[in-house]
Amino acid sequence: MFVEAIGVFIALGVTGCIGAYKSIELIRRLQQDGHEVQTVLTRHGAEFVTPLVLETISRHPVITDMFQRAGQWEVEHIALARRSQVLCVAPATANILAKFAHGIADDFLTTLYLSNRNPVVIAPAMNTAMWEHPATRRNLDILQERGVTLVTPGSGYLACGEEGAGRLADLEQIAEAIYTVTTPPSLKGRTVLVTAGPTAEDIDPVRFLSNRSSGRMGFALARAAARRGARTLLISGPVPGSPLRAGECRPVRSADEMAAAVLDWAPQADVVIMAAAVADYRPRQTSATKIKKKEGDTVLELVRTPDILMQLKSIRRPTQVVVGFAAETDELVANARRKMERKGTDLMVANRVGADVGFGDNPTAFTLFRPNAEPRQIEGQSKEAAAAVILDEVERLLAGDAAPTPLSE
């Protein structure tokens, strides 16, 4: 059984401000995506969150002492700089920004920064006046000139009681910045179109036909493509929240709207990934007013919606890679192969769905199909890991690799 590992080792610096408590949830978020986190807590950071809490969450001893040793011979800050693949400081105070900018190394975190040759992500958090001060702005300029990735703070109500910029950025943005700097830009110069989520086919102003799709797989694919440097186009059916912070997103509701959006954007794309769960049928007529309950049964007449993959087949370029998805309750292999052949996809991603399995599952399981090749089963993956496996296969197709990836145990 093939299992893809995408985890990275992250050194997380936590400094002294009220936003330090959010580092606990950030660690959890990173762990859920399969990553390992080693926390470095400054003396002032320990006033806001204790080492014991961070150790319990991260499952690693928290580094607080400049002279802690990793072993009998290793110097700890050098050892951590070698072991980690990215240094993230969240929250980063104005004080730590100044020290980083001017090369001051008077504690473990600042010494680690000077020893580090890996990507650096900083997520500042501070009072609005401190954030806007010319000294802070200059320090940020210096750090960004050196290649440090800045996750800009948000605006809102601050702990000091003021309203303004300076609150720690959303954890989703911080995690996305970490993943981006640790991902090679292997799709740079490419355009990837992804569809995600369900469609909703209105019956009347209060009722509609839809399905259980959460959109999470499509959103993970769009994020993963953006991390790899692609221009990312996302067409999203109706789902709660904001699915994509990088790239271009077009919200749609019905299958007709999704078809129009795909046909509009597809000519620009090198890769089209049809991960959306598009309704096969819609009501023949949509009532302008709520249909009232009455005695006896009501017949709802349904008509076919556009077959977007078949429409795409007729206009696609020879070099364009098209990926389809198949949600099946039975005969998964036979049904997925038939769909791949009929709709001319280069790759088909099939998963089993039912009352207690399928849409929204995390970890997820699926099977990859390529023409004239044995199916490749993927088990026990997070959505992020699954997206990485699928995009790796897409990259092989873009490179002209006609041979499928060998099965791995």
| Interacting residues of 224 by C-beta distance below 8 A, sequence separation 6+ | 183, 384, 387, 388, 391
Instruction: Decide the pairing of beta strands 248-251 and 86-92.
Output: unpaired
Buried b (16+ CB within 10 A) or exposed e, 286-323: eeeeeeeeeeeeeeeeeeebbebbeebeeebeeebbbb
Provide the sign of the torsion angle of the four alpha carbons 65, 70, 72, 75, taken in this order.
negative
Distances, alpha carbon 98 to alpha carbons 17, 123, 139, 368, in Å: 15, 14, 6, 50
Beta strands across the sheet bearing 149-150: 36-41, 9-14, 86-92, 120-124, 149-150
Q: Which of 17, 88, 160, 249 is catalytic?
A: 160
Residues 5, 67: Cα–Cα separation, whole Å: 33
> CB–CB of 162/203 below 8 Å?
no
Element (H, E) at 226: helix 216-227
**CA dihedral sign of residues 261, 262, 266, 268:** positive
Is 249 among the catalytic positions?
no
Query: By the 8 A CB rule, do 243 and 236 touch?
Result: yes
Residue recorded with tokens 């819609």: 282
What type of residue is 347? L
For 166-185, letters b (16+ CB in 10 Å) and e give bbbbebebbbbbbbbbbbee
The CB-based long-range contact list for 215-219 (8 Å cut-off, 24+ gap) reads 215/239, 215/243, 215/276, 216/360, 216/362, 216/383, 217/275, 217/325, 217/364, 217/383, 217/386, 217/387, 218/194, 218/243, 218/273, 218/275, 218/276, 219/243, 219/244, 219/383
201-204 and 207-209 beta bridge pairing: antiparallel
User: What is the set of active-site residues?
Assistant: 160
